[in-house]
Amino acid sequence: LYLHHKAVADAVPVPQILYNVPGRTAIDMQADTVVRLADVANIVGIKEATGDMARAKELIDRCGDKIDIYSGDDATALDLMLLGGKGDISVTANIAPKQMHEMCAAALAGDADKAEKINESLLGLHKNLFLESNPIPVKWAAQQMGLMGGGIRLPLTPFAERHHEALRQSMRDAGAIE
């Protein structure tokens, strides 16, 4: 993994953010690898999507100011930011951008009480946007909000009707729809 990401960084002179999502790739980029990659000039951050706060804290502590640590797991994004992470690369923000912005801004400012209150209204959305494989639920939700037309391309399949009301209710709870 180190050699691959270093080769890409050496070949492409743009700022790059690593993405660690073992649930999608079946490979977990270990902290030691991230720390080594933090020394590569145009690697500027990592989207850490494990949801493991001990891992996130280790990366924040060991990487220091070399790279920014972002959450890639909305359900634990608040906790990561309160540990010193720099933000969240979010699925939920596609459906509730204002609320996610306000939650992140409060967390980054250290206002844990305000951030937790906002995040509480988003918890159902964080969960229900993953009732099926991402991005199936988020595309359905965006369609329900009139942000995109219907239809979905293979290999994705339509969002199962049995989940519609749960996701719709979490959208209401988050203030994304009325």
In this prediction, residue 150 carries a pLDDT of 83
Could you count the other beta carbons within 10 Å of the beta carbon of residue 89?
Answer: 18
In this prediction, residue 23 carries a pLDDT of 85
Active site residue 66: no
Which of these is catalytic: 2, 6, 19, 127? Answer: 19
Q: Per-residue pLDDT tens, the chain, 178 aa: give them.
A: 999 999 999 999 999 999 999 988 899 999 999 999 999 999 999 999 999 999 999 999 999 999 999 999 999 999 999 999 999 999 999 999 999 999 999 999 999 999 999 999 999 999 999 999 989 999 999 999 999 998 888 999 999 999 999 999 999 999 999 8
Residues 6+ apart with CB under 8 A from 176: 95, 96, 99, 125, 141, 145
Contact 77/123 with Cβ under 8 angstroms?
Answer: no
Residues 135 and 99: their CA atoms lie apart, in Å, by 20
Amino acid at 83: L
- Residue 145 main-chain phi, psi, to 5 deg: -85, 0
In this prediction, residue 104 carries a pLDDT of 98
**Sheet with 68-71, edge to edge strand ranges:** 16-20, 43-48, 68-71, 87-88
Coil, strand or helix: which one is 21? coil
Active site residue 47: yes
The structure's pTM equals 0.92
Residues 118 and 56: their CA atoms lie apart, in Å, by 22
